[in-house]
Structure 1
Amino acid sequence: MRVFVTGATGFIGSAVVPELIGAGHEVVGLARSDDGAAALKEAGAEVFRGDLDEPEGLARAADGADGVIHLAFVHDFADFEAAGATDLRVVEAMGAALAGSDRPLVVTSGTAIAPAGRLAVETDAPAPGTHRTPSEEAAVALAGQGVRGSVVRLAPSVHGRGDHGFVPHLIRIAREKGVAGYVGDGANRWPGVHRRDAARLFRLVLEQAPAGTRWHAAADEGVPFRDLAEVIGRHLQVPVVSVPPEWAGEHFGFLGRFAGVDNPTSSVVTRERLGWRPEEPGLLTDLDEGHYFV
């Protein structure tokens, strides 16, 4: 299969590209920069130059492929609404290019988009009003347009060497504050997935997933946030402390809105139907290996 991958040079995309190539697929990766283009060529992929602000170009690339994995996203924590609107335009443009072809379009979302307060499952519709909701709904609706649209919901912590997401920010905050914090009693749970396990799931969804389906990239169903803070505190040799919920924004900055989220997530259906078997270290084991603290 000839696969167009947006976000191909990112933390997850740089694992997805070799996963696809290793399974015999040809990859065309989106690159915004010369360095990104060089990295893709070195990985054995073709290069398509462009960015998310050019949905017409991405639509042309999608039209020339047998399938699409859409990983790229504008991670603008200051303007979630604008980031979500950009993503929706890209999903709609690529979906229109694939209409009537029964080709797969795999769109990325997050497990935290599911309703809060209970174990999230794959059949859960997204909570209304989140920045990922319109794109997820658009991807699933493509089934009515002859596109094998599906969604992979990533755990909030996609971890591994080279991670520059939430966990490195928590470590930086702990260094700056001199304490490793958690919100309230720290019992709220974050699912996790290693980036290589996530890459394998994207390939399986591309190859197998029926139209209009959602899948969960959650190897750890839910790691208590306090446990995460305790590993950070031990490695940095700083106290582990509770942060009152009303102070979370001040302590964690932009992460304040996420640090207290309880997002236990099941991937039972994903494992049973696609044969996905996470093989890499779990979040706490990966963190305890020490490479995050070098």
Structure 2
Amino acid sequence: MKIVVIGGSGHIGSFLVPRLVRAGHRVVSMTRSGGTGYSDAPEWERVQHVAVDRQRQDADGAFGRSVAELEPDVVVDLVCFTLDSATALVESLRDKTAHLLHCGSIWRYGPSRKLPIVEGSDSAGAPFDEYGIQKAAIARMLQEETASGGLVTTSVHPGHIVGPGWQPIGPLGNFDPGVWAVLSAGGSVPVPGSGAEMMHHVHADDVAQMFELAIRHREAAAGEDFNAVAPTALSVRGYIEIASGWFGQSATLESITWDEYRQLTTPEYADASWGHLHRSQVFSIEKAKGLLGYAPAYEPEQAVLESIRWLIDHDRLEVAQPLRA
């Protein structure tokens, strides 16, 4: 099939595009830069690159036409963040494309009520930030589109994406690289809250796996939404214990209030921590396993360790001790 991947050079696309080429598909990668992402896979030589400024074309009402003119059998949209943008793409592809797959987010859910969080259940509250609200609205629109007999759609909702080439969400629920220096030195980590809050990571290649499976099993994936996460999730306390052990250390956790934490860090890091830890989410992948055969290859700590090793090896992260893991 001819598959257009919108945002092909990003975290997920870097793994998905080579997967699709290896599966025998003709792949077009639409990006702003025309780049090949984080991986240096030989499959990129067989990819057609189309440079496009989606934000500008969305404003002009032209982006959907740009995609449709490529005459794809399948479109994978990895960089759509508003209902208006998603709706415009659907309207352009209806009756022209066999399958549209959208990359959502687990933040379409709010704070957890029951664990694990299951698609279509009351396991979590409503989203509370604009990003999550928009992702939830897009997922509903896509389901309604397919249920009404329109375009066949599927939405995939990744957890906190991890992979070589970028900072992972750390034990405090943010991108602060300083925590890794503390962990590698066996220091004390000030934690806002109890330390029992949960985060659910996923390796970018496992998300790519789910998209590939949804394309392969279109009938099973039609009109569905799927959580895309690792088999297990990490608590703040467990994350700190596991990660400090990679350096042969045993870091300690110091429980502090949120007001105290905000005085110790930047507003950006504090807000990110609140966003992750307040939600305290763990997700079920039983639906994807049953309908698609999803089998994630990475536990969350394995994915994070791969990322941290890459950052250290490329002089992108300062630590007090070398990795022993």
TM-score, L = length of structure 2: 0.75
Secondary structure in 1 matching 2:156? strand
Secondary structure in 1 matching 2:90? helix
Shift of 1:142: 1.8
**Over alpha carbons, which structure has the higher Rg?**
2
Which residue does 1:26 correspond to in 2? 26
Q: Does 1:231 find its partner at 2:242? A: yes
Which residue does 2:113 correspond to in 1? 117
Q: Does 1:162 find its partner at 2:165? A: yes
Shift of 1:23: 1.0
Percent identical residues: 21
Which residue does 1:137 correspond to in 2? 140
Report the AA paired with residue 240 of structure 1.
L
Structure 2: which 5+ runs fail to align?
A: 313-325
The Cα RMSD (Å) is 2.9
Task: Output the CA distance in 1 between the equivalents of 2:188 and 2:63.
Answer: 44
Q: Does 1:59 find its partner at 2:64? A: yes
Number of aligned residue pairs: give it.
Answer: 279
Task: Output the CA distance in 2 between the equivalents of 1:114 and 1:47.
Answer: 34
Secondary structure in 1 matching 2:232? strand
Listed one character per residue, the Cα deviations across residues 242-294 of structure 1 (whole Å, up to 9, x for unaligned) are 34234455543331222412111000011011111112x31113334551551
Report the AA paired with residue 211 of structure 1.
A
Q: Does 1:147 find its partner at 2:144? A: no
Q: Does 1:269 find its partner at 2:277? A: no
Which residue does 1:78 correspond to in 2? none
Q: Does 1:217 find its partner at 2:235? A: no
Structure 1: which 5+ runs fail to align?
A: 74-83
Task: Output the CA distance in 1 between the equivalents of 2:242 and 2:175.
Answer: 11
Task: Output the CA distance in 1 between the equivalents of 2:262 and 2:138.
Answer: 27
Q: Following superposition of structure 1 onto structure 2, how do residues 1-294 of structure 1 map, counting pairs within 5 Å?
A: 1-33=1-33, 35=35, 42-53=44-55, 54-55=57-58, 56-63=61-68, 64-73=71-80, 84=81, 87-101=82-96, 103-115=98-110, 116-118=112-114, 119-124=116-121, 127=126, 130-143=133-146, 144=148, 146-155=150-159, 157-167=160-170, 169-170=174-175, 172-174=177-179, 179-208=188-217, 209-235=220-246, 239-250=252-263, 251=265, 252-260=269-277, 261-279=279-297, 281-288=298-305, 290-291=308-309, 294=312
Shift of 1:182: 3.5
Shift of 1:2: 0.9
Listed one character per residue, the Cα deviations across residues 17-62 of structure 1 (whole Å, up to 9, x for unaligned) are 011111111111112125459x899442111221331134431243
